[in-house]
Amino acid sequence: MKIALIVTILGGFFIIYRSYNPSGNSLFIPCPFRYVSGYYCPGCGSQRAIHQLLHFNFVAAFRMNPFMVLSIPIIVYGLGVTVWNYIFETRYRVGFFYSKIFIYGYFGLAVLYWILRNIPYYPFNLLAPTE
């Protein structure tokens, strides 16, 4: 039953993000931070990047949100261990997720990325998501 629920939820997200392009569909919520401030947050472009990844357009996905694309292996690994623990009722832990160095380092990279993508000069405007 647990596996069926997980497969159904992940399959639903897969179908929605593969079928509908977030840049041209009102089904997807726009970034509230960008709407209010006019600046990009670290997650801006993630929904469109996921859509591009599901169509195997890796370069387009990277242009929309490089930080999210580079974070996918970490996210998949963490979610995989969590799902494994949920299904098989185990207690495996990903050690580096609990390391202060990893937590502060990853948070620091996210903040640095957030700042750099909002600087309007040449080397940094490449971090702003493309339409």
- Average pLDDT, consecutive stretches of 10 residues, N- to C-terminus, the chain (131 residues): 83 92 86 92 92 94 93 91 86 86 95 89 65 59
**Residues belonging to the chain:** 131
* CB-CB contact of 21 with 48 (8 Å): yes
Asked if residue 130 is part of any domain, the answer here is no
Asked if residue 100 is part of any domain, the answer here is yes
Number of domains the chain is built from:
1
Asked if residue 131 is part of any domain, the answer here is no
Residue type at position 47: Q
- Give the separation between CA 8 and CA 71, rounded to whole angstroms: 24
* Domain coverage including residue 23: 2-125
pTM over 0.85: no
